[in-house]
Amino acid sequence: MVAKTRALVPKDKLLLAGSGCEGTLATMRMCDEMANAGADALMVVSPGYYKAVLNDRALIYHFTAVADQSPLPVILYTVPACTGVELSVSAVATLCQHPNIVGMKDSTGDITKLASFVAVSKGEQFQVLGGSAGFLLAALSVGCSGAVCALGNLLPHQVCQLYQYFTRSNSPSETPPCNEDSKQQVSLGDKFTASQKEHELLPSGSSNGKQTSLENKIECARKALQLQHELLAPNTAVTKTFGIAGLKQAMDWMGYYGGPARKPLMPLLDADRQALRNIFVKSGFLKD
């Protein structure tokens, strides 16, 4: 799959490949295979089968050994909802100093811990990424560089737009009106477009009829929060309530190819499919 993706993705686009296994040696071998397939960097998830003994000592050893051998930069991935194992702040404080460990993705949703990861890695060549569109704005606010979001598979414009609103609201330079790039027509399925979500600037109260840079920053911050709120229900639906099958169904509705989930994951029941669609209709991303 990675090799086929590499053939389709331009060389100037980063191809990040998952490369985590339960064993250290198996993970090392997979890293080599992913490099040969054309990946640019590797996301290595924590092992989890023997979680009772996967303490800091074991995890630091595992990730250090993998990074020492890996021909590509390594990004740590902690997703305790799936692995049952959570990387500690102290473990990350050690691992972030490794020259071949360049960042981490944290899917815990614990904003205090996310901020702590940013704090302990400050000064290192290490970037912290959030793991969900459900807390994207919060992650950016505590210093994350970005995020890897499942919701980006079906609402890519909106996820990127939230990031752009945030960066403009925090830019140290002059900030142009934050609706400059929000007028592009991005298909959301069912003859509905992103511009109809009303992410446009309201008229400014400035006496000269133009918004100042500070007013633009404030407006971009407001838009970021508004968009974050709009993404909450769809994100929960495709990451928790209905899972992978729901995410793939929503991709189909949005004009992408989701297709069936791999077994043993089951397709949605008709009632679940309708409930999922109702969420997207109520959120404004689909027509009824």
Q: How far, in Å, CA of 173 to CA of 163, rounded?
A: 17
**For the chain, what is the mean pLDDT?**
90
What is the model's pLDDT at position 167? 95
**Cβ-based neighbour number of residue 231 at 10 Å:** 24
**Cβ-based neighbour number of residue 65 at 10 Å:** 14
Q: How far, in Å, CA of 62 to CA of 100, rounded?
A: 14
**Cβ-based neighbour number of residue 3 at 10 Å:** 12
Q: How far, in Å, CA of 277 to CA of 287, rounded?
A: 9
pLDDT higher than threshold 60 for residue 281? yes
pLDDT 10s digits, 34-49: 999 999 999 999 999 9
Token readout for 20 is 């985590």
Which percentage of the chain shows pLDDT scores above 70?
88
SS3 45: strand
**Cβ-based neighbour number of residue 107 at 10 Å:** 23
Q: Are β-strands 16-18 and 41-45 bridged in parallel, bridged antiparallel, or unpaired?
A: parallel
Question: Structure pTM?
Answer: 0.86
Per the annotation, the verdict on 49 as an active-site residue is: no
What is the model's pLDDT at position 7? 96
**Which residue of the set 49, 105, 257, 282 is catalytic?**
105
What is the model's pLDDT at position 27? 98
Task: Considering only residues 118 and 172, tell me which one the structure prediction assigns the higher pLDDT.
Answer: 118
Q: How far, in Å, CA of 77 to CA of 105, rounded?
A: 5
Domains of the chain with CATH codes: 1-148 (3.20.20.70)
Per the annotation, the verdict on 105 as an active-site residue is: yes
Calculate ∠ Cα 70-87-263, nearest 5°: 75
pLDDT higher than threshold 90 for residue 264? yes
Place of tokens 């800091």: 56
pLDDT 10s digits, 217-252: 999 999 999 999 999 999 999 999 999 999 999 999
**Which residue of the set 4, 51, 61, 77 is catalytic?**
77
Residues annotated within the binding site are 148
Residues annotated within the binding site for pyruvate are 148
The alpha carbon torsion through 183, 188, 191, 195 (nearest 10 deg) reads -20
pLDDT 10s digits, 130-180: 999 999 999 999 999 999 999 999 999 999 999 999 999 998 877 777 764
pLDDT higher than threshold 90 for residue 186? no
